[in-house]
Amino acid sequence: MDFLDIHTHKSAQQKGVESIQSLSLTSDIFLAMPKTKSISIGLHPWYASIEKLEIQLKYLSVLAKQTNVKLIGECGLDKLKGESLKNQILILENQVALAEQLNKPLILHCVRAFS
């Protein structure tokens, strides 16, 4: 392996590049989720829902314990799309807590939310 791509949305792999595919927790994730390939999984701010947060976090906490899940995310804040910033912060805080609990790194998505 020459390179490690820790954030790709593609499943194909180039020669000399090991990758960790980034998946968002969506309703059809169970159909597409690899069982052996290294992946990350999280509640992307575009798709996370405060109304469904409790069930989304339950699914995420179960899936994140699989051995092929190496990172939590892509999660974070996006002022251009998704829930209100207040709700996005709450959703992010829950994923940070899960990453800490499972001792897994976090992949952050941050669009116009640096200040």
In the chain, DSSP finds a helix count (H) and a strand count (E) of 3, 5
Report d(CA 22, CA 34) in Å as an integer. Answer: 11
CB atoms within 10 A of CB 44: 22
What are 47's two structure tokens?
Answer: 């798709």
What are 115's two structure tokens?
Answer: 């200040």
| 70 has pLDDT over 90 | yes
Residue with tokens 């669009």: 111
| 31 has pLDDT over 90 | no
Q: What is the pLDDT of residues 75-89, one digit of tens each?
A: 999 999 999 999 999
What integer pLDDT is reported at residue 105 of this predicted model?
A: 95
pTM of the model: 0.84
What integer pLDDT is reported at residue 53 of this predicted model?
A: 94
The most confident of 24-33, 36-45, 66-75, 90-99, by mean pLDDT: 90-99
Report d(CA 29, CA 4) in Å as an integer. Answer: 24
